Structure 1
Amino acid sequence: MNVFIRVASSFLSSLLISFTLAYINTVPESERVPNTYYISFSDNFIAPFIFLLLIYIVVAVLYSIEVDNKLRTMKVSAFIREMIAALLYIAGGFITVFIFFGLLTGLSYKGFEIGTILYGGAFALVYYVVIRMLQFVCYTYIQKQRK
């Protein structure tokens, strides 16, 4: 069930982020200039969705399993554990963006703009929040079924 939650959160995180980015980047019909090409909402949505889903399933699921296994053995309060987990997920997002853009751009300086790396941390944090929400919902549902 734990892997199912992680894969489902990969899908939901990709959906949420892609929808948000498509909404921000789409120009409304009333503001469009004649004889100018604009990318549609669906085109703005599909490409980031596929790219994010691939990254989440390949990297984030494996990384989150490893982080949760390491955090499970820590003898600290639940609040501190959650804060450490959030920071580890953000660091994992930074590292993932650094690696993927390094592979795409050949480690040139242009590929490592700070804004891009910050997006990686933010997207990793979204994934972490979605995982925790799905875990809460699933475990609450299971507890209700047992009663």
Structure 2
Amino acid sequence: MTKPHRINRPRGKILAAVLTAVLISLAMGIYHYVPIDERLENTYYYSFGYKFAVGLLINLAILLFLLTPLSILVDGLLLYRKKDNTYIRLLVAIVAYVLLGFTGGIIYSIFTLNFTTFSAQTIHIIAGSLVFLAFQLVLNRSFLHSSSHR
């Protein structure tokens, strides 16, 4: 009996999704934070903690309930490309995850009935899917290596 590829193990995908959500939420919180000395008078600003927490909830939902299931399908298709060299497989994976992010953006827009910010949402989800792929590759280094040594 052959061992399943580690990239398809649910624990690895869930950990990669959580790490991606945390990283993206941190980046968004830092990007949108307005330092105290730059704040306008009589204007309310959300705290970094609030922006991080709300962003984390949204990003976790997108990653766990949308991108992770779609990525299982994509990874299943990528397993058929074992004969390609490492760089071709990596390039195909990147293109596949960009398409996964684009598809996720469409599904998210349909689900939220929000098409006015479709391009921003889709770019956010594509970026998230690429970070998600990067975490999976780091957590599952065997994906980059030929499975012949196992």
Which TM-score band (shorter chain)?
0.7 to 0.9
Kindly indicate whether the alpha-carbon contact (under 8 Å) linking 1:102 and 1:111 is maintained by their aligned counterparts in 2: no
Q: Which residue is 1:141 aligned to?
A: none
Q: Which residue is 2:65 aligned to?
A: 58
Higher RCO, Cα 8 Å, sep 6+: 2
Task: Output the CA distance in 1 between the equivalents of 2:30 and 2:36.
Answer: 13
Q: Which residue is 1:143 aligned to?
A: none
Q: Does 1:95 align with 2:112?
A: no
Quote the offset at 1:33 in angstroms: 2.2
Kindly indicate whether the alpha-carbon contact (under 8 Å) linking 2:102 and 2:125 is maintained by their aligned counterparts in 1: yes
Q: Paired residue for 2:125, among 120, 124, 132?
A: 120
Q: Tell me the number of residue pairs that the alignment of Structure 1 and Structure 2 aligns.
A: 134
Q: Does 1:136 align with 2:149?
A: no
Unpaired runs of 5+ residues, structure 2, are: 1-5, 143-150
Task: Output the CA distance in 2 between the equivalents of 1:23 and 1:94.
Answer: 25
Task: Output the CA distance in 2 between the equivalents of 1:46 and 1:11.
Answer: 13
Amino acid at match of 1:23: I
Q: Which residue is 1:144 aligned to?
A: none
Q: Which residue is 1:76 aligned to?
A: 84
Identity of matched residues, %:
26
Quote the offset at 1:58 in angstroms: 1.3
Kindly indicate whether the alpha-carbon contact (under 8 Å) linking 1:105 and 1:111 is maintained by their aligned counterparts in 2: no
Kindly indicate whether the alpha-carbon contact (under 8 Å) linking 2:71 and 2:100 is maintained by their aligned counterparts in 1: no
Taking structure 1 as the reference length, the TM-score comes to 0.83
Task: Output the CA distance in 1 between the equivalents of 2:41 and 2:133.
Answer: 43
Kindly indicate whether the alpha-carbon contact (under 8 Å) linking 2:24 and 2:128 is maintained by their aligned counterparts in 1: yes
Taking structure 2 as the reference length, the TM-score comes to 0.81
- State the superposition RMSD in angstroms: 1.8
Unpaired runs of 5+ residues, structure 1, are: 138-147
Quote the offset at 1:92 in angstroms: 0.8
More deviation, 11-20/92-101: 92-101
